[in-house]
């Protein structure tokens, strides 16, 4: 398992990056022990709200194999519209790892950062489970219009995503093991 923490178009945030590296190492250890599955290679990117959409959509396009420029521009517009509300996202990568993009504008302190980090790392663990990665990639391909799913498969995917979110929210209490003030 490799771990990489970096920034994207975020200047003057050196201390934030050092804190994020320290918290990420601790969070990976805690989540790996507490959640079923195997921790994949994780790449964490810290970015601001205005650059969040471009990082996430580029990773989604690569993973889904989307090359249509119309679809790419439509998904980028949609992502920009919702970027203000996003604290973090976990996206499966084409190479088998997981990209976690975190919006630093949403995290005023270590406690909120730890909660978001634990939540997204739980999603990374869910990717490593049986059929988890394939299911998420099929959902991405469906959302981008590359390969459509049947209605039944789409509903099943929505139910599974709902269960995954419920599990991730249920495991946010693990953040208190990383930062004591992070009572979720």
Span between the terminal Cα atoms of the chain, in Å? 27
Q: How many CB atoms lie within 10 A of CB 1?
A: 11
Average pLDDT, the chain: 92
**Short-list 56, 128, 118, 54, CA closest to 97:** 128
Q: Is the pLDDT of residue 184 over 60?
A: no
Token output for 115: 């909660």
**Short-list 48, 68, 140, CA closest to 98:** 140
List, for residues 51-110, the tens digit of each pLDDT value: 999 999 999 999 999 888 999 999 999 999 988 899 999 999 988 899 999 999 999 999
- The whole-number pLDDT of residue 13 equals 85
DSSP string, 33-102: HHSSS----EEEEEE-HHHHHHHHHHHHHHHHT---HHHHHHHHHHHHHHGGG-SEEEEE-TTS-EEEEE
| Chain-centroid distance, C-alpha 115 | 13
Provide the whole-model pTM.
Answer: 0.93
List, for residues 111-136, the tens digit of each pLDDT value: 999 999 999 999 999 998 888 889 99
**Using 50, 70 and 90 to split pLDDT, how confident is the model at 2?**
very high
Rounded CA-CA distance 14/72 in Å is 32
- The whole-number pLDDT of residue 182 equals 67
List, for residues 34-47, the tens digit of each pLDDT value: 999 899 999 999 99
């Amino acid at each position: 398992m490799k771990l990489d923490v970096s920034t994207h178009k975020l200047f003057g945030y050196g201390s934030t990056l050092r804190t994020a590296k320290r918290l990420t190492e601790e969070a990976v250890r805690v989540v790996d022990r507490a959640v079923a599955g195997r921790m994949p290679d994780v790449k964490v990117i810290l970015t601001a709200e205005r650059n969040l959409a471009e990082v996430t959509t580029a990773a989604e396009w690569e993973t889904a194999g989307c090359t249509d420029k119309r679809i790419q521009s439509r998904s980028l517009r949609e992502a920009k519209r919702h970027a203000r509300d996003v604290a973090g996202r976990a996206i499966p990568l084409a190479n088998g790892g997981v990209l976690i993009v975190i919006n630093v504008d949403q995290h005023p302190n270590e406690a909120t950062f730890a909660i978001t980090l634990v939540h997204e790392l739980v999603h990374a663990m869910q990717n490593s489970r049986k059929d988890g990665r394939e299911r998420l990639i099929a959902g991405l391909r469906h959302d981008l219009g590359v390969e459509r799913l049947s209605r039944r498969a789409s509903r099943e995917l929505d139910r599974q995503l709902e269960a995954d979110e419920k599990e991730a929210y249920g495991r946010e209490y693990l953040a208190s093991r990383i930062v004591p003030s992070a009572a979720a």
